Structure 1
């Protein structure tokens, strides 16, 4: 099972997934206003377009705009051309919009399935990584590599913890200031970066009061808000410890509420240790590649946690994607036997391959079990379109903190 020589999901897990019902709680400040735009926009989408295809298009736009920005900022220290950050802001807006309407499309076409929710969360986990990297490039955070690693690790951690809470309580919960608000802040940062670049003003690298630069202050503010959401009474950590929906306060799978902690630690600890124990400065030489690799490892772990929640199964701690940080760690332990830059590139290739393979196998197994297509719907749709109520909301996913799911497809 470690290398997927057998099926990823058992018959019992598929049966539980087929019975899964989506549950969420969202109190976002900006969602009600945005819903008016999203409810109008969905009327422009043809009924023959599959909800998962909408999600995938949004993700691809997000990835492509980020890659263009990274091409001009390979170390996140360069001043990006004004149009690259403006393009990233547009890409994030498109992603936010398409991510918000995929569930509405599923209800319009009567094609809601648990696969839709899982596919949406999977795309959200990858979007969290790429938007974090784009944010670092936009504000030249690579000038402060420690802050950059902290920002990217924090984003992945908060996203994982949101689903950890869901695995425990059975309900995806979002606060008053959450992902929709975070995404809009990121778009504003991108546009501000575009303006400062166009005017030739080094806004992000100047120092305020000779202490912190604006990019450092922004990172501190974002991380502080995230940790407040984790630590406040009724917040994520409180719900993890006290809101178990299983027997005797356990998870929905009747496992320990602390069981998802080890996969998270297997990402966070190696990310910091390998970065600062390297005698070849592997992180400082290749910051974008490094944070992308560990971000995608965190995305894989989050996807497995989402599957465990929807299938009400135990989350396993062995995973082939962890071979990448293990290889880097062992190489350092044995006095850097292989050049670290080459090993990092090989590890990144393995992480991408393993993530795509795992997601593909899970989706194909679910499609086969539910007798549905991933990117196609019957045309004409199975029944007449369903009117989407204007008050319907979908929990949010996003780059800075958590998953957007305001209109679940399940």
Structure 2
């Protein structure tokens, strides 16, 4: 089968010269997670390829999204207020399954790199594969978490959650934009903390039920609003300021790429345009799409964003110029225009765009991996042929 040539010769040469550089200063990561992962990876057979661990971990997260889409597509299952009382609550066993899946996803994501070093199979493909799947996972995880709180009583509206989702996506993208400029991946403290908290939330919900989150803190602030504030605080107080400081420090110490203002800002153009187009759709929607079908709309946003992020990662790892615009901006802009001109086609347009974005992103991911395997004469999911 012919391999689609998404990667240019210049990018492939850049991957040949790529060296992984990261800093993880999180106390939780250093004192708890890494010692735990170091013990777990010893259980894993040496014949298991690291990318298998990465992909299976991703499937655990997708599994949570699929399960909760079946039990709670509308996000009303955890709500008592109408029309929430028309939907059966999610069984406790489902939450326990979500806790297990999330734990496995986080653990496999933590040991894949260790397995690569343990088996002598570290390389740019593994990092690209890992971070590429993380680009999509970044939207699945918060979309699953919304089912815990629902969309009515003691929670937040889909519109507010839409901006929470963009907050999460922005933090993830900024981390890779930071590496694009500094050549170092600074792992945010909030990542492992958030993963552990999400596991605890699933576990608590599985044991005591989703009604345990139906409470107010003080001054009428609900539990859902509390977690909303925590997510914004985590990004605006720790993640984003540290990213901008690290970029500033790289220019001050002349340790980064030292790009000009336009070249440094170039990777930000496409995600900003994506946010503007999606937000115009939300506020101009003739059928109030963010309340009518929040799951499908946010899935569409997350999928398009994942493709934008993956292309930044390719540019960052290959030390090549980041593309200005992603071609998916054209069908997104067209969809916004169609919805405005022919309101009756809004749901059909959303479905078509979501399908197109999914197919395009999967096609891009599959063929980039195949092209990398062909170039480096390796197998993605096998160790046996790596010495050939």
Normalized against structure 1, the TM-score is what? Answer: 0.84
- Say if 1:270 and 1:329, in contact at 8 Å, map to a contact too: yes
Residue in structure 2 matching 1:371, options 374, 377, 382: 377
What residue is the counterpart of 1:397 in the other structure? none
Displacement of 1:250: 1.4
- Say if 1:140 and 1:205, in contact at 8 Å, map to a contact too: no
Moved more, 110-119 or 58-67: 58-67
What residue is the counterpart of 1:171 in the other structure? 184
- Say if 2:183 and 2:257, in contact at 8 Å, map to a contact too: no
Displacement of 1:181: 1.0
What residue is the counterpart of 1:406 in the other structure? none
What residue is the counterpart of 2:134 in the other structure? 124
More helix by share: 2
1:22 maps to 2:20 = yes
Distance 2:274 2:265 in 1: 16
- Unaligned runs of at least 5 residues, structure 1: 384-410
Give per-residue Cα distances to partners, 1:69-122, cap 9 Å, x unaligned: 221111222122212222112111101111111111112221111100100101
Distance 1:216 1:7 in 2: 46
What residue is the counterpart of 1:402 in the other structure? none
1:195 maps to 2:207 = yes
Residue in structure 1 matching 2:267, options 239, 260, 265: 260
Distance 1:133 1:248 in 2: 35
What residue is the counterpart of 2:37 in the other structure? 38
Instruction: Report which structure shows greater RCO (CA 8 Å, sep ≥6).
Output: 1
Give per-residue Cα distances to partners, 1:11-62, cap 9 Å, x unaligned: 1110111110000011111122222221121111111111101100111112
SS of equivalent residue, structure 2 residue 186: strand
Displacement of 1:267: 2.2
Give per-residue Cα distances to partners, 1:355-392, cap 9 Å, x unaligned: 0011111111111110101111117x859xxxxxxxxx
1:82 maps to 2:92 = yes
Distance 2:208 2:119 in 1: 44
Distance 1:364 1:255 in 2: 33
- Say if 1:297 and 1:351, in contact at 8 Å, map to a contact too: yes
CA change 1:365–1:382 in 2 (3 A) is: closer
CA change 1:205–1:346 in 2 (3 A) is: farther
SS of equivalent residue, structure 2 residue 322: coil
Moved more, 29-38 or 49-58: 29-38
**Number of matched residues?**
370
- Say if 1:62 and 1:127, in contact at 8 Å, map to a contact too: yes
CA change 1:367–1:36 in 2 (3 A) is: same
1:321 maps to 2:328 = yes
Residue in structure 1 matching 2:300, options 293, 312, 319: 293
Distance 2:42 2:208 in 1: 37
- Say if 1:139 and 1:204, in contact at 8 Å, map to a contact too: yes
What residue is the counterpart of 1:342 in the other structure? 348
Displacement of 1:335: 4.5
Give per-residue Cα distances to partners, 1:132-179, cap 9 Å, x unaligned: 11111122146511221122111111100110101010000134x321
What residue is the counterpart of 2:83 in the other structure? none
Displacement of 1:5: 11
What residue is the counterpart of 2:8 in the other structure? 10
Give per-residue Cα distances to partners, 1:238-294, cap 9 Å, x unaligned: 33355256888218xx97211111111022222222112101111211101111110
What residue is the counterpart of 1:204 in the other structure? 213
- Say if 2:125 and 2:372, in contact at 8 Å, map to a contact too: yes
